[in-house]
Each structure stands twice: as structure tokens, then as C-alpha cells.
């Protein structure tokens, strides 16, 4: 379930007004909202990498990893390729954050190699790529497959997409911006548990931009508390 953008904006305004820190415009909010969403999203991968380095099978850490994977799964997508274009290349899908795996239908994961490995393999009678044992190189947002002669068949690509751009759309009535829940409005794609984190990060960004130390401290104070709770 996504995080409602109007709920986040109203919470941000409520805290800012409570502190008598002025008005955060819709344009400012949309800018801060997208920055906050991307920061939280990218933190998932950093945290997952850090937890994967912890030795042992602690249930506590295992639960954290499961939650991070659940949050990342929201952005996982697949692309089916029935036939390869000339050059045996596959361009990254639009809005890709990172590539997952390439699968040959019925044969499992296709091995990713670097250029040095490819040279060694193509000169080996045993390791030379073929339709049963294809490989690929990932370079400049393009995947190039190597499998010798023949037809490779259907391929499935998995990838993680970037979060879509959020937008608090509005109409002006009596010089006041009112939320317009129409086609131009876009909620956050993040896990529903991130609502408070979004509010606090947006307040932090607003504090920096508006040179308001109180708003910044409110946002950062919540982040510090969250980190401490995760470490306990």
C-alpha cells in the first residue's frame, strides 16, 4: 500500500504551523518530497548490504533483512524478451535503478561476466558460450549476450525500478491551494511504514532551504531517534 501524498503534506504543514515556521508551498513540498523518497529508497540498498555483512543467523537481523526486501520488492519488475534484436543487446528498461538477473526460460540464470572472462571463455573449447550456456556483459546500461550460433529463445529480465515522481496536485480557490486528487496527483510508492520518515525528512529539507534551524532539528531529531531504535 502506497503512502498518500496529501496525508504527508498535511502533517508537514501541521508541524510547520505549530512551530510558527511559515508556509511550505506546494512547489517546495513536491521538490522536498521527491528528494526524501529517493533518499529513503537508496538507503534500503545500503542497509541491506550492511546487514548482509553481519555474521551469524540472528533472528533480529533476519527480520530486518526480510523487511528491507519487502520494501524493495515494491519496485521489482520483470521484462519478457521473446527475440533479441540485431547485436544481441538488451537496453535497460526505462527508469531502471539496478538490474537483477537474466533468465533463459527453462534453463535458469544467465551468467554475467566481464570482458576478460569473456575473452577466456570464447577461446576455450570447454567454456565457450553456446545456447545452453549463454553469458552476458553489462556495460553502459546495455546487456550484450554471447551464445555462439543458433537461437537463444525467450529471456526474462528482472530489475528494480526507480520510484515514480510524486506530485501534490492542486487547484487555487480564493488564493488558497486545495488538493486535487486527480490524474496529475501521484502518491509515494514507498512502503506504508515510511510515512513518518517522509514527513521528517521533508521537514529537514525545508529547514535547510528556508534557513530554519528549528524545522531542520525536528526532522533530524526524528531520524536520530529512529536509528537508535533500530540499533537496540
The range of the structural domain enclosing residue 143 comes to 77-161
Q: How confident is the model at residue 227 (pLDDT cuts 50, 70, 90)?
A: very low
* The pLDDT of residue 23: 76
The Cα–Cα gap between 20 and 194 comes to 25
The Cα–Cα gap between 160 and 155 comes to 17
C-alpha cell at 220: 533530524
Question: Tens digit of pLDDT for each residue in 44-57?
Answer: 999 998 887 776 65
Task: Supply the pTM of this predicted model.
Answer: 0.84
- Find out whether 193 and 204 touch, Cβ atoms under 8 Å: no
Top mean pLDDT of 77-81, 147-151, 211-215 is at 77-81
Same domain, 118 and 220: no
Same domain, 66 and 170: yes
* The pLDDT of residue 30: 97
H or E element at residue 175: none
Residue with the bigger pLDDT between 211 and 199: it is: 199
Average pLDDT over residues 138-149: 94
From 103, 126, 161, give the residue that closes a domain. 161
Same domain, 190 and 126: no
Same domain, 81 and 157: yes
Q: At what angle do helices 195-209 and 26-52 cross, to 10 degrees?
A: 120
Same domain, 209 and 103: no
* The pLDDT of residue 215: 63
Amino acid at each position: 500500500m502506497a503512502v498518500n501524498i496529501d496525508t504527508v503534506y498535511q502533517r508537514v504543514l501541521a508541524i510547520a504551523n505549530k512551530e510558527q515556521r511559515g508556509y511550505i508551498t506546494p512547489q517546495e513540498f513536491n521538490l522536498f518530497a521527491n528528494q526524501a523518497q529517493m533518499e529513503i529508497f537508496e538507503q534500503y540498498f545500503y542497509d541491506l548490504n550492511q546487514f548482509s555483512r553481519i555474521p551469524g543467523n540472528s533472528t533480529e537481523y533476519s527480520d530486518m533483512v526480510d523487511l528491507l526486501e519487502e520494501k524493495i520488492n515494491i519496485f521489482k519488475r520483470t521484462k519478457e524478451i521473446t527475440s533479441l534484436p540485431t547485436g544481441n543487446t538488451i537496453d535497460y528498461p526505462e527508469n531502471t535503478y539496478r538490474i537483477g538477473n537474466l533468465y533463459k526460460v527453462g534453463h535458469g540464470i544467465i551468467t554475467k561476466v566481464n570482458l576478460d572472462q569473456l575473452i577466456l571463455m570464447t577461446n576455450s573449447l570447454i567454456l565457450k558460450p553456446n545456447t545452453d550456456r549463454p553469458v552476458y556483459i553489462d556495460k553502459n546500461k546495455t546487456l550484450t549476450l554471447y551464445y555462439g550460433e543458433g537461437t537463444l529463445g525467450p529471456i526474462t529480465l528482472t530489475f528494480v525500478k526507480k520510484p515514480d515522481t510524486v506530485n501534490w496536485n492542486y487547484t487555487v480557490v480564493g488564493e488558497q491551494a486545495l488538493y486535487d486528487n486527480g490524474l496529475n496527483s501521484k502518491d509515494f510508492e514507498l512502503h506504508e511504514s515510511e510515512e513518518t520518515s517522509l514527513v521528517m525528512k521533508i521537514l529537514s529539507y525545508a529547514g535547510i532551504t528556508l534557513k530554519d534551524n528549528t524545522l531542520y532539528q525536528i526532522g533530524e531529531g526524528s531520524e536520530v531517534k529512529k536509528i537508535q531504535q533500530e540499533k537496540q
